[in-house]
């Protein structure tokens, strides 16, 4: 199954055709798809009307620099400032993280979107892609925030996605532009980067997104292409039973196995349930790549939104104004 990107603020005729393909499971939206709150609500409705089956509509609305929708939405801070608050007020910091999650997810659900890919549970150890998107460098602190964030998203009726498994924060390279290799062994990863993922799975996280990072002391392939990481460690050893997403196949670190078909096949063969195709220019070839495959059309059913209240309903929620003030004050 594929989750695809579209080009603009309205669907083209070609994009409507893509949505009718048996392998199209959903759409991921970006800033290029956003003009206003009303417009993006119309776009999500058009996506659902164009497809013959339910579509999972997604976005990255983490906060900070990774917030695709801004005008009309809360100014969500990145996750890094929570670490300093935790040092002086552990309970208050965790409560605020739950509110950050609830606020982010409530606003996205009120727009008609099912899923924001959050939380980032990578360690904040200087990676160029992660930066201030991470809660902390300390795995046990990140684990506590992970539990709180999953709880907050669930309270808003949104599934939670832990990313980027098994940990992107401890390498320097940005996998959007570079290949990345982490030389550490599995025991070290279990004691460090995997700790927040264990906590998130225990908290009931619904999905995991893989990292385009290779860990050669554990498996020869990057994690998203690795049956050992997905089926052996994540599913068997860690007991994860949710949905596994690839990261975007248009990122430079995904190029190592070859062209578009090779990337799609490698992810699906390794055990990913869903492949992200964020660049519209790659969608046509990606849809052709899955021709003849058996498709799990029910894989994403548990991630679909659980009854959005709409903006009027959100504004009427007694929590909304107070939570927004507290969360924005952290920025």
**Is the residue at 310 inside a domain?**
yes
Q: How many domains does the chain have?
A: 1
Predicted pLDDT at 218: 97
Q: What is the CATH number of the domain that holds 140?
A: 3.20.20.300
Band (pLDDT 50/70/90 cuts) for residue 308 is: low
**Is the residue at 137 inside a domain?**
yes
**Is the residue at 306 inside a domain?**
yes
Cα angle for residues 317, 323, 325 (degrees, 5° grid): 120
Band (pLDDT 50/70/90 cuts) for residue 14 is: very high
Q: Give the tens place of pLDDT for each residue, 30-60.
A: 999 999 999 999 999 999 999 999 999 999 9
**Residue 66, beta-bridge partner list:** 63
Predicted pLDDT at 306: 62
**Is the residue at 245 inside a domain?**
yes
Q: Give the tens place of pLDDT for each residue, 63-103.
A: 999 999 999 999 999 999 999 999 999 999 999 999 999 99
Predicted pLDDT at 172: 81
- Chain-centre distance for alpha carbon 234: 17
Q: Give the tens place of pLDDT for each residue, 180-210.
A: 899 999 999 999 999 999 999 999 999 999 9
**Is the residue at 301 inside a domain?**
yes
- Active-site amino acid positions: 176, 247
Query: Tokens 């940990």 correspond to what residue?
Result: 167
**Is the residue at 196 inside a domain?**
yes
Q: Is the predicted pLDDT of residue 138 greater than 80, yes or no? A: yes
> What range defines the domain where residue 122 resides?
2-26+36-328
**Is the residue at 219 inside a domain?**
yes
Sorted by sequence, the CB contacts under 8 Å of residue 67 that are 6+ apart come out as 61, 73, 76
Predicted pLDDT at 149: 98
**Is the residue at 31 inside a domain?**
no
Cβ-contact 98, 155 below 8 angstroms? yes
Q: Is the predicted pLDDT of residue 299 greater than 80, yes or no? A: no
């Amino acid at each position: 199954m594929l989750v695809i990107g579209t080009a603009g603020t309205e669907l083209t005729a070609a994009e409507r055709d893509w949505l009718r393909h048996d392998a199209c499971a959903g759409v991921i939206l970006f800033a290029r798809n956003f003009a206003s709150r009303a417009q993006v609500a119309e776009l999500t409705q058009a996506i659902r009307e164009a497809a013959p089956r339910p579509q999972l509509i997604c976005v990255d609305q983490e906060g900070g620099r990774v917030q695709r929708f801004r005008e009309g939405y809360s100014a969500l801070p990145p996750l890094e400032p929570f670490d300093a608050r935790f040092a002086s007020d552990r309970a208050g910091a965790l409560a605020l993280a739950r509110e950050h999650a609830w606020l982010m997810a409530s606003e996205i659900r009120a727009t008609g979107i099912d899923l924001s890919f959050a939380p980032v549970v990578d360690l904040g150890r200087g990676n160029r892609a992660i930066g201030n998107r991470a809660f902390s460098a300390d795995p046990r602190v990140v684990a506590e925030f992970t539990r709180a964030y999953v709880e907050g998203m669930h309270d808003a009726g949104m599934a939670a996605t832990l990313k980027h498994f098994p940990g992107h924060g401890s390498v320097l390279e940005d996998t959007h532009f570079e290949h990345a290799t982490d030389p550490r062994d599995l025991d070290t990863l279990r004691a460090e980067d995997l700790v927040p993922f264990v906590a998130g799975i225990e908290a009931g996280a619904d999905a995991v997104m893989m990292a385009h990072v290779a860990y050669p002391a554990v498996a020869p392939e990057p994690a998203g292409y690795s049956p050992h990481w997905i089926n052996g460690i994540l599913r068997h050893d860690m007991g994860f039973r949710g949905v596994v997403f690839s990261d975007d196949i248009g990122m430079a670190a995904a190029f190592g196995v070859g062209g578009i078909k090779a990337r799609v096949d490698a992810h699906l063969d390794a055990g990913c349930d869903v492949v992200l195709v964020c660049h519209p220019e790659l969608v046509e070839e990606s849809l052709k790549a899955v021709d003849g495959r058996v498709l799990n059309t029910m894989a994403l059913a548990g991630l679909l939104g659980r009854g959005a209240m709409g903006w009027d309903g959100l504004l009427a929620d007694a929590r909304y104004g107070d939570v927004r003030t507290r969360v924005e004050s952290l920025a």
